[in-house]
């Protein structure tokens, strides 16, 4: 099993450009998440999908959109990138969306917006 995979690993954008970050999991998990990691701030939840067909906003959703394409895939889209979106983005998944379940993380996408 590959676990949680993310593409691309690195990306540089110019302000105003758009892009989609891809995430897939092969663990038959129901819930998927997108986080951003910034120095000194831990991880902050952008969006999550508790189950296939549902998505909800997290702590910092502005400037992002998501699509739960199917049970395996959950993509994050930046429609008009801004320098404030320079960050490392992590996708995660869990079997169920409850307090005991471990979340499994992908390797991350390092995004720089110039």
Partner 1 sequence: GDSVTQMEGPVTLSEEACLTINCTYTATGYPSLFWYVQYPGEGLQLLLKATKADDKGSNKGFEATYRKETTSFHLEKGSVQVSDSAVYFCALNPGNDYKLSFGAGTTVTVRA
Residues that bind partner 1 (CB under 8 A): 4, 31, 33, 40-45, 48, 50, 56, 58-59, 90, 92, 97-100, 102-108
Q: Quote the least distance from Cβ 80 to partner 1, whole Å.
A: 26
Residue with tokens 């998944």: 93
Q: Quote the least distance from Cβ 29 to partner 1, whole Å.
A: 14
Closer Cβ to partner 1, 14 or 39, answer by number: 39
User: Rounded to an integer, what distance in angstroms lies between the CA atom of residue 102 and that of residue 93?
Assistant: 8
Closer Cβ to partner 1, 56 or 79, answer by number: 56
Closer Cβ to partner 1, 46 or 78, answer by number: 46
Find out whether 63 and 76 touch, Cβ atoms under 8 Å: no
Closest CA relative to residue 24, chosen from 69, 64, 54, 85:
69
C-alpha angle 39-43-45 in degrees, rounded to nearest 5 = 135
């Amino acid at each position: 099993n590959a676990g949680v995979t993310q593409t691309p690993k690195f990306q540089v954008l110019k302000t105003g450009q758009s892009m989609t970050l891809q995430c897939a999991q092969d663990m038959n998990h129901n819930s998927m998440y997108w986080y951003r990691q910034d120095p000194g701030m831990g991880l902050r939840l952008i969006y999550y999908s508790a189950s296939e067909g549902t998505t909800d906003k997290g702590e910092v959703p502005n400037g992002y959109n998501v699509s739960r394409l199917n049970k395996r895939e959950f993509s994050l889209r930046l429609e008009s990138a801004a320098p404030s979106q320079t960050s490392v983005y992590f996708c995660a998944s869990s079997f169920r969306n409850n307090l005991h379940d471990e979340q499994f993380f992908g390797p991350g996408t390092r995004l720089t917006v110039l």
